[in-house]
Amino acid sequence: MGSAENKRSVIVGIFVFIAIIIFVAAILTLGGQQKRFVQTVKVRAIFENVEGLKTGNNVWFSGVKIGTVKSITIAGQSQVEVELTIEEAAQKFIHKDAKARLASESLIGNQIIEILGGTPTAPQIQNGDLLQTEAGLNTDDMMATLQENNKNLQAITGDFKQLSAGLVNGKGTVGALLTDSTMATNFRTILAGLEKTSVNTARASAALSQFTAKMNTKDGLANQLLTDTAVFNQLQSSVAQLKQATTAASDITSNLKTTSAKLNSTDNAMGVLLNDEKFAGQLQRTMGNLETSTKKLDENMEAIKSNFLLKGYFKRQAVRDAKKAEKADTTNRK
């Protein structure tokens, strides 16, 4: 009987010892999670609405847990003061111009406090400092936005359903293209025309490229005109000479016009000869009279030669003329 009681006492002692170990481990684990055994600093932040934040919720910095919510108290009308415990190891990364805001661990997770570190040039926070706050993501607002997006998506789906029904029934231009064979044929014709136009455009572009290449040929006339100053100077001189020739031709034309005008006038000799019919008749009659007088003069001269008084004179004159002709002929032969 005594040994059985001793055995029972040993078993009970073992269970009690195991329970104590489990209890201590639990305390250490919970304390580690709650940062109970870590040196911390306390800071405060005042929010208008903490939206379900509870004591013991986590404090995060850049996605890392650095502390917990120590207490939540009402600081005034529409103001709530939240006291935070932050590890001393993270203190050097948080500056006095840091901001705290409410956030959520997930879409339906616990509320947390997220700290934005501030500027590196500002001093680091000290125990008891009051952090600035900014509005965080509100789950209710997110859900309202999601519901609004769902309504918009539903409206878009309904519009698309109506549009697709219209397309199937041949309504509108696109629907007609899908159902009307005549319009589809016209559309194909338009596309063929556009394709032909693009081919012609490509050809024109190739021709223009070839023309440009010829212009850029080193020994070509166009290239020389664009780059060779000597050719340009020669061309400029030729243009000047052509201008002078044009001016001279213009002067000649003007003179010819003036001369023509004078010839068409009757105030000068040539104009009278060309344009005065009366004077032309008189001149014609005068020439006729001269011809008649010349004929009569020849007849008179022949009559004089036959006169016995002058017959010897004309014979001697004929002999002299014959000698002169013979002498000239001899000189030419030599």
Structure tokens at 23: 């209890």
Longest dimension (CA), the chain: 224
What confidence score (pLDDT) does residue 30 get?
A: 63
Structure tokens at 134: 């900014």
What confidence score (pLDDT) does residue 275 get?
A: 65
Q: Is 56 left (phi over 0), alpha (psi -120 to 50) or beta?
A: left
C-alpha span between 69 and 57 (Å, rounded):
5
Structure tokens at 133: 């706050």
What confidence score (pLDDT) does residue 85 get?
A: 92
Q: Is the pLDDT of residue 208 over 70?
A: yes
C-alpha span between 239 and 52 (Å, rounded):
95
Query: Alpha helices of 34-123 — where are they, by DSSP H?
Result: 88-91
Q: Is the pLDDT of residue 210 over 70?
A: yes
Q: Which of 44, 33, 71, 34 is nearest to 55 (CA)?
A: 71
pLDDT-based confidence at 185, cuts 50/70/90? confident
What confidence score (pLDDT) does residue 166 get?
A: 64
As separate numbers, helices (DSSP H) first and strands (DSSP E) second, the chain gives: 10, 7
Q: Is the pLDDT of residue 25 over 80?
A: no
DSSP element (H, E) containing 71: strand 64-76
Which residue do the tokens 């016209």 mark? 186
pLDDT greater at residue 143 or residue 61 = 61
CB atoms within 10 A of CB 178: 14
pLDDT greater at residue 307 or residue 115 = 115
What confidence score (pLDDT) does residue 254 get?
A: 78
pLDDT greater at residue 189 or residue 270 = 189
Q: Is the pLDDT of residue 301 over 60?
A: yes
Q: Which of 113, 71, 73 is nearest to 94 (CA)?
A: 113
Does this model's pTM top 0.75? no
Average pLDDT, integer, range 7-22: 80
Contacts of 143 (CB under 8 A, 6+ apart): none
> Strand 111-116 relative to strand 58-61: parallel, antiparallel, unpaired?
parallel
Q: Is 35 left (phi over 0), alpha (psi -120 to 50) or beta?
A: left
pLDDT greater at residue 131 or residue 225 = 131
Q: Is the pLDDT of residue 176 over 70?
A: no
Average pLDDT, integer, range 22-30: 73
Q: What percent of the chain has pLDDT over 70?
A: 66
What confidence score (pLDDT) does residue 322 get?
A: 77
What confidence score (pLDDT) does residue 69 get?
A: 92
Adjacent-strand bridge partners of 114:
60, 101
Q: Concatenated DSSP letters for 127-184? A: TTPEEEE-----HHHHHHHHHHHHHHHHHHHHHHHHHHHHHHTT-HHHHHHHH-HHHH
C-alpha span between 14 and 306 (Å, rounded):
200
What confidence score (pLDDT) does residue 70 get?
A: 92
Which residue do the tokens 């001189």 mark? 237
pLDDT greater at residue 177 or residue 233 = 233
Q: For residue range 88-99, list pLDDT tens digits in order.
A: 888 888 898 999
pLDDT greater at residue 143 or residue 90 = 90
What confidence score (pLDDT) does residue 83 get?
A: 93
Q: For residue range 61-84, list pLDDT tens digits in order.
A: 988 898 999 999 988 788 899 999
